[in-house]
Amino acid sequence: MSVQQADAVLDRERSEDFVTMSVAGQTFGIPVLHVRDVLGPQRITRVPLAPPEIAGSLNLRGRIVTAVNMRQRLSLPSEDFVEKAMAVVVEHEDEPYSLLVDEVGEVLSLSESQREPNPATLDAKWRQIADGLYRLDGTLLIVLNIGAVLGAIRADA
């Protein structure tokens, strides 16, 4: 086997692990290395004058964590969502953030060779925060770029 053939085999076998989650019926994935914790519904304290995407803050083992309403961030209906949302805690630029989602699924190991670029038909707001997608048994898993999800919020603040 040549070096090029060996590299091609390795490329096909490389995989990434994603924590899956659902927001309004759409499946998203975050690289597992970005996830610090997964929490059930939490008591969120509203922050006055915060951007609409910021649901408030929560206390996680003595640390104040900014809670991001992912339905609001994705321009989806979010009435009565925050009270029952699951929280996926991620770290970005040494700050913890809690992404509020409908539910958290499983950890999937997916082949990097199966990842597709964002389609042109994907909503522009979603395209800004997505790093591609995977086609899974009749559904799409959109890979979230945590820096893009949180960077836009920080820039708006």
How far from each other are the two terminal CA atoms of the chain, in whole angstroms?
55
Per-residue pLDDT tens digits for 104-113: 999 999 999 9
Q: What is the pTM of this model?
A: 0.85
Mean pLDDT within 4-14: 59
Per-residue pLDDT tens digits for 118-133: 999 988 888 999 999 9
| Tally of structural domains, the chain | 1
Q: Which domain holds residue 53?
A: 16-156
Domain membership of residue 40 (yes or no) is: yes
Domain membership of residue 25 (yes or no) is: yes
Residues 6+ apart with CB under 8 A from 64: 57, 58
Domain membership of residue 148 (yes or no) is: yes
Residue 30 vs residues 23, 79, 102, 131, 156: alpha-carbon distances, Å = 13, 24, 15, 10, 23
Domain membership of residue 50 (yes or no) is: yes
Domain membership of residue 3 (yes or no) is: no
Domain membership of residue 5 (yes or no) is: no
Mean pLDDT within 7-33: 85
Domain membership of residue 7 (yes or no) is: no
Per-residue pLDDT tens digits for 54-112: 999 999 999 999 999 999 998 888 887 888 899 999 998 889 999 999 999 999 999 99
CATH of the domain at 134: 2.40.50.180
